[in-house]
Structure 1
């Protein structure tokens, strides 16, 4: 295992384009770190610099305290699993997995090669497929072969570059579980690149969210969800995404498109002299008042529902609202950065499955003022972020990671 440290890493191409701009990360020994962001944010370039497939323009990359900027990929002892699996079609599964062990400089006895291959195959449930060719395997099986090749190398860290993007939705879910179980079992440092925030939230000990080559926030999935630092992180993390609503500041109230709500106590002084802000509300924070009685202090309002989606275990309602020109450009730019297909001025409500709200009808809805996040439309900063709560989440997440690593070491006897 290894500790990987990125210190002010930059990647600038010959035309002056900065794909990665001043990234600093400390990836702990045995940690599962996710690099996530929309297309073109620099996450794969960062991973390729770690493994040595891209030169580092400036900054330092250290593995266990040793600077490795100038080391060739083969000398960094990192195992990479590619998006396209990179299997040799003319070799059997057995020989594909064993390939890195049979390279000239390794000189590993064939008995040990065979043992490592069998152990990896058993771990990945590939034993019965060892004599088959990659063309005769399913996508999930090919991905496991690629993972097996990484496992047998006894590398210091695993690097995954969007390994599940070629699989269908069902297989992606299954492989997520397998990768998570494998990483915990081996307790190996893992860096995993994806554009899928569901993968990021379910797999990572910590998640580094990137935007246009710049690191926005690196934290546990729970901290990213509950205490995002800015509009971009808040909009990227969560499915369905957070609702962003324009709000005019009127004395101690926020005038939203559909209702007036009290300004959260902690930011009243900060909002003095401010005319307009962006309010973030998660879809699940808005409830149906016909199904659940609004508690004291709830903000209750009525809106006409445009579209509903019933999925059995959950239901969504889409409610249009009037935009505000003062923040429209900010929200449109955010939508483009989030790979959106064009901003629609509507908010989403995650209704109870038993709700009988119908399209075209007026629904009675409510939310709690403390569930609102308030953002500065100029800087994007989350004005309601609670740093103390964020620190508590980080502490609990790290404690859980360490316990999981200890259990892994106890099982393997390492």
Structure 2
């Protein structure tokens, strides 16, 4: 396994445009790091610089403390899984997985190759397909073959470039589980690129959110969701996305389209020079007051006309249109473009309990806890309500969770205090009669 450090990494093309602009990250040994962002944000370029497929304009790329800027891809001992699988159609599944081992015939015997391929195929449930050709496999099976080829290399880290984008929704869900299980079982450092924030939130120990080549925030999924640093991160993370509502500042009150919300003196002081701010409220923070559930003491209650509803069994979406404020509409339109949106009309999305009987054309009686709302500067996107102490606590808890999961994986694979690599190396030495050759 490896620790990967990116120090002020910049990538400029011939026209001088910075596809990646001054990105610094420390990827811990055994960590599952996600690069996420809309199309053209630089995430795939950053991944390709790590593996050595793209030159670095400036900055230092470090692997285990060694600068690798000038090393060829094969010298970095990293295994990459591509979006299009990159399988050889004329070779069997067995030979596709074995291919990187056969490139160096002096290093791996036929028996060793067979053992490594069989171990990988067993992990990925490919034992029944080893003699088949890639063309006869499903998309999910082909992706597992590509993963098997990466596993047998005993690489220091795995790099995935949008590996699930060609699969249907059901297969994507299944493969997310497979990749997460494999990464935990092997305890190997993994960098994964995706434009799908659902993949990012479910897979990553930490998620690096990029916008136009600039790192916006790198944190655990929970911190990104609960404590975003700016408007862009808040809008990108979450399904359905966060509602952004214009709010007039009136002393210790924010006037939203449907209701006036009292705010504390500290927040009021931060926004006192602003006439207008953007308030962000996640859809699930709204509750149907007619259900009679206990509401927080400080809950803000209001009524609003419902334009459309969608009942999904365990939950219901209600769509509530509102008149936006021209002073912030341009900023919200710009944000929508940055998030690859389609510029739909202003409407608030409310995610209600499945018991709710609110229907389109009715006026809903709703409430929310004002402590859960976010307040943003409409010009800079800065989040006024981010709680740095809470964010640090979430980060600490997430790192503890990651270390516990990694330790469990190491104990399963290599025994108490060992790791997955040690377990595989021990098996290699036993197969070679006790030899210590790597």
* TM-score normalised according to structure 2 size: 0.93
Q: Name stretches of at least 5 consecutive residues in structure 2 with no aligned partner.
A: 420-438
CA RMSD of aligned residues (A): 0.9
Aligned residue runs from structure 1 range 257-296, under 5 A: 257-291=257-291, 292-296=293-297
Q: Which runs of 4+ in 1 moved over 6 A?
A: none
Does 2:319 align with 1:318? yes
Q: Name stretches of at least 5 consecutive residues in structure 1 with no aligned partner.
A: none
Which residue in the other structure is 1:247 paired with? 247
Counterpart contact for 2:252–2:265, Cα < 8 Å: no
Cα distance in 2 between the residues matched to 1:378 and 1:76? 43
Which residue in the other structure is 2:430 paired with? none
Which residue in the other structure is 2:435 paired with? none
Which residue in the other structure is 1:7 paired with? 7
1:116-147 CA distance string (max 9 Å, x none): 00000000000110000000000000000000
Cα distance in 1 between the residues matched to 2:264 and 2:213? 33
Does 2:333 align with 1:328? no
* TM-score normalised according to structure 1 size: 0.99
Residue 311 of structure 1 and its aligned partner are, at CA, apart by 1.0
Residue 387 of structure 1 and its aligned partner are, at CA, apart by 0.2
Cα distance in 2 between the residues matched to 1:264 and 1:195? 37
Does 2:189 align with 1:189? yes
Count of aligned pairs between the two proteins: 414
Does 2:110 align with 1:121? no
Which residue in the other structure is 1:130 paired with? 130
Which residue in the other structure is 1:393 paired with? 394
Residue 104 of structure 1 and its aligned partner are, at CA, apart by 3.5
Counterpart contact for 1:32–1:191, Cα < 8 Å: yes
Residue 107 of structure 1 and its aligned partner are, at CA, apart by 3.0
Residue 9 of structure 1 and its aligned partner are, at CA, apart by 0.4
Which residue in the other structure is 1:166 paired with? 166
CA spacing shift, 1:275–1:104, aligned 2, 3 Å: same
Which residue in the other structure is 2:343 paired with? 342
1:319-356 CA distance string (max 9 Å, x none): 00110011111100000000101142101000110101
Secondary structure, counterpart of 2:408 in structure 1: helix
Residue 105 of structure 1 and its aligned partner are, at CA, apart by 6.7
Cα distance in 1 between the residues matched to 2:234 and 2:243? 9
Secondary structure, counterpart of 2:295 in structure 1: coil
Counterpart contact for 1:331–1:343, Cα < 8 Å: no
Does 2:235 align with 1:223? no
Counterpart contact for 1:34–1:208, Cα < 8 Å: yes
